[in-house]
């Protein structure tokens, strides 16, 4: 998306992001149990290290993902939905910083927070490789070409909030 449409849609996007971040509460027992049941112990540690608003976002996306793909969805695919943005954790940006980073046309290739934010997909895949995750989980989070196409499409749709 070019800069102008992003600037035009910014107010609504900002309001939604702020509302989401400022009203986020810790996951309830059912949501937390659902999330952890689809994750390996190493993946659970990554999930629990995310802040509350990120955990809630991932649970919301995972529920939408399962609704679309079906209840017999492989665990590794749900794990990808539950961790698809895990790489954002290492960018060091808060809610405002992330919104600004999506708008800025510069700094995307550097090693600073904006650069890391724009590389969160390969960073997340690398984190999951280190965690010993299933190859499908890694490929889906990293948006690798070898990622299975059906869950890749469903995950993209589920994340379109
Ligand atoms: Fe997301």
Ligand 1: centre distance to CA 161 (Å): 8
- In this prediction, the residues of the chain whose per-residue pLDDT falls under 50 are none
Long-range pairs of 4-8 with CB within 8 A, sequence gap ≥ 24: 6/102, 6/103, 7/103
Distance of CA 144 to the CA centre of its chain: 15
Neighbours of ion ligand 1 (CB under 5 A): 85, 159
All structural domains of the chain with their residue ranges:
3-158
> What pLDDT shows up at residue 115?
86
What is the radius of gyration, based on Cα positions, of the chain? 15
> What pLDDT shows up at residue 108?
81
| Total Cβ atoms within 10 A of residue 63 | 16
Contact (CB, 8 A) for 13 and 99? yes
**pLDDT digits 0-9 by tens, 80-115:** 999 999 999 888 888 778 877 877 777 788 788 888
> What pLDDT shows up at residue 128?
98
Query: How many Å apart are CA 33 and CA 28, to the nearest integer?
Result: 8
H helices of 72-119, where? 75-83, 95-103, 113-118
Ligand 1: centre distance to CA 4 (Å): 22
Burial of 8 from C-beta contacts in 10 A (0-12 / 13-18 / 19+)? exposed
Query: How many Å apart are CA 56 and CA 61, to the nearest integer?
Result: 9
pTM: 0.86
Ligand 1: centre distance to CA 72 (Å): 22
């Amino acid at each position: 998306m070019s800069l102008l449409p992003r600037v035009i849609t910014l107010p609504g996007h900002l309001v939604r992001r702020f509302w989401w971040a400022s009203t986020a509460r810790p996951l309830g027992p059912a949501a937390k149990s659902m999330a952890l049941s689809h994750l390996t112990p190493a993946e659970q540690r990554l999930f629990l290290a995310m802040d509350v608003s990120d955990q809630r976002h991932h649970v919301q996306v995972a529920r939408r993902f399962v609704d679309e793909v079906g209840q017999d969805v492989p665990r590794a695919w749900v794990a990808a939905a539950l961790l698809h943005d895990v790489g954002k954790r290492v960018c060091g940006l808060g809610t405002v910083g992330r919104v600004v980073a999506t708008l800025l046309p510069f700094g995307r290739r550097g090693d600073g927070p904006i650069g890391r934010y724009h590389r969160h997909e390969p960073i997340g895949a690398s984190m999951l490789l280190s965690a010993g995750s299933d190859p499908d989980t890694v490929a889906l989070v990293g948006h690798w070409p070898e990622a299975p196409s059906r869950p890749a499409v469903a995950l993209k749709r589920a994340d379109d909030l």
